[in-house]
Structure 1
Amino acid sequence: MPFPIWQILLAAIVAFIASLIALLLLRQRAKTFPVYDGIIIALVVGFALFAWRMAANVALLNDDPIPGISPNDMLCPVVVYFSLSMYAALRQPPARWAQIQVLLTVLAFFTSVVVL
C-alpha cells in the first residue's frame, strides 16, 4: 500500500534533522567543515530520501517480506549514499568524508524503517 505524501515528507524532515544534528555534533568535535556545508549535506540526505520514497511509492516495494523491512527500506540508503557521492564529486568534501557518508546513510536507513 502506498504511503501518503505527508508521511514521506515527515520521514524526509526527520532524516534532515537527524543528519543535521549528527553533522553539528561531528563539527563540534573537529571543525572540519563550515555550518552551511552541514546544512547542505543534511538537505541532500532529506531530499534523497524524499525523492526515492516518492518515486518508488508502490505497494510492491512497500510490502514487508522481512517483518518491518520493505525493499524500499533497503534501497533508500543506496540512493542516499549515491546522492552524497554526487555531492562529494561536485564540492570538496570535508575531512573523514567516508565515515560521515556511512553515518548519514545508516541514519537514513533507520529513519526510513522507523518513520515509514
Structure 2
Amino acid sequence: MTLVIGDVFTHAHIGLTATISAVIALGVGIWRFQGKRRWLEALVVAVLVGGTVYLWRASANMPQLNNDGIPGFSANDWLAPVVTFVVLSVYADLVPPVNQRRFAQVRAAATIAAFAVNVITI
C-alpha cells in the first residue's frame, strides 16, 4: 500500500499518525489522571487528540502544507499540535477537569506527542 501519493498522504497514513498520537495521549492520561474517572478522562483526551490530528492532517493534506519549509518540518507538522492544544483547552473550559494541574500536564504531553509523531511518521 502506498502511503504517499505525490506530495499528499493517504488517509491510511494520516489515520496511523492520528492513532499513534491518541495511544500516546491515552497512556499519559492514564498515568497522570487520578481517581475513579481516570480511564474515562484519558479516553476522552485520546479521542480528542486522535480526532484533531486526523481531521487537521486530512483537511490540510495539500502539497503547499506538506512540503518541508525547514528541512524535516512542514507547516502541517507545526500546526497539527497547535490544533490539538486548542481543542484540549476548549474542552477543559467546557468540562472543567477535576485537577487542573494534571490536565495541563496531560495536555502539554499530548501536544508534544502530536508534534513528535507528526514529524516522525509523516
User: How far, CA to CA, are the matches of 1:32 and 1:70 in structure 2?
Assistant: 40
User: 1:15 matched to which residue of 2?
Assistant: 21
* 1:110 maps to 2:116: yes
User: How far, CA to CA, are the matches of 2:115 and 2:11 in structure 1?
Assistant: 18
Aligned to 1:20, the other structure's residue is in SS state: helix
User: 2:4 matched to which residue of 1?
Assistant: none
Higher strand share: 2
Q: Deviations over 1:8-60 (max 9, x none)?
A: 00001101111111111223xx4485211110111000000001001100000
Aligned positions of 1:4-83 closer than 5 A? 4-27=10-33, 30-31=34-35, 33-83=37-87
Equivalent residues of 1:62, 1:70 under 8 A apart: yes
User: How far, CA to CA, are the matches of 1:21 and 1:109 in structure 2?
Assistant: 16
Please give the TM-score of this superposition, normalised by the length of structure 1.
0.91
Identity of aligned residues (%): 33
Of the candidates 70, 90, 94, which is equivalent to residue 90 of structure 1? 94
Say what the alpha-carbon RMSD is for the aligned residues.
Answer: 1.4
Q: Structure 2: 5+ residue runs without aligned partners?
A: 1-6
Equivalent residues of 1:33, 1:94 under 8 A apart: no
User: How far, CA to CA, are the matches of 1:59 and 1:83 in structure 2?
Assistant: 25
User: How far, CA to CA, are the matches of 1:94 and 1:109 in structure 2?
Assistant: 26
Q: CA deviation at 1:98?
A: 2.1
Change (3 A) 1:94 1:103: farther
Count of matched residue positions in the alignment of Structure 1 and Structure 2: 114
Please give the TM-score of this superposition, normalised by the length of structure 2.
0.87
